[in-house]
Amino acid sequence: MDEKQIFGEMGLVEDKPRSATVTAVEGVRLAVLGRDNFNELFEKNPKVLLPIIKSLFERLRTVNRMLASKDTLGDKETKGHDGSGGVGVVVLSGISEAGKDVLNDSEMEINKFPFKVGREQSSGGLDCLSDNDLYLRDSQPLNVSRNHFSVDNVRRDIVVVDRGSLLGTIANGKRINAQAVLNMGENEIIVGQKISPFVFKLEIR
């Protein structure tokens, strides 16, 4: 997990045993939100709870995609790209000029999953309905949705997931339905329709 990530939100809302354990590998600072605090914030300052609500919906969508793609993934679910159970290094870089600009013409190593990409609010201010790690500054006619796609590690496969965008996501020349397993080596990602200015290379090394 990375800075400002949330965990344990399902146990907060639903009074049932936790489904996962989080272990810190180095010193961390946590903000703990209990049920009493949650109820108080819900009444007095519901905006504070938006990240938790967005996290719940994101997890629900991820589970739905995993169930929908279970049959199509087949045996690949049990193997890593390198045959050893790992996925190697995942690197994002720009192919188009707009893609290069947003990354300052350099590479970005993706080391947290899901890594979420979407459109930057035109005013440049806070957008409480978006939750992204990389924001793309798009202009009319828009290609990029507020919450467009994510890169995730699903059972040791690196996948690109469309997050319900309006114009879709194209991975290696094919518009994906919900998610697509990426190849070892170089992959091309187009954000939106084929003529979108945002074209990226996602490399699994």
The domain over range 75-204 is classified in CATH as 3.50.50.60 = no
Taking a C-beta distance cutoff of 8 angstroms, is the pair 199, 94 a contact? Answer: yes
Confidence band for 79, pLDDT divided at 50, 70 and 90: very low
Query: DSSP secondary-structure letter at 182?
Result: P
Q: What is the pTM assigned to this prediction?
A: 0.65
pLDDT at 81: 52
Three-state SS at 147: coil
Residue 74's pLDDT band, with cuts at 50, 70 and 90, is: very low
Q: How many CB atoms lie within 10 A of CB 94?
A: 20
The predicted-structure confidence for 34-58, as pLDDT tens digits, reads as follows 767 777 777 787 777 777 777 777 6
* Domain range list for the chain: 75-204
DSSP letters, 104-128, are: TTS-EEE-SSSEEEEEPPTT-S--T
Helices (H) and strands (E) in the chain, counts: 4, 11
Residue 68 predicted with pLDDT over 70: no
Q: How many CB atoms lie within 10 A of CB 92?
A: 20
Give the pLDDT band (50/70/90) at residue 11: low
Q: What pLDDT, on a 0 to 100 scale, did the predictor assign at position 77?
A: 39
Q: Which two three-digit tokens encode residue 39?
A: 């109820």
Least confident of 35-39, 95-99, 100-104, 198-202: 35-39
- Of the candidate ranges 120-124, 145-149, 166-170, the one whose mean pLDDT is the lowest: 120-124
Q: Percentage of the chain surpassing pLDDT 70?
A: 70
pLDDT band at 78; cut points 50, 70, 90: very low
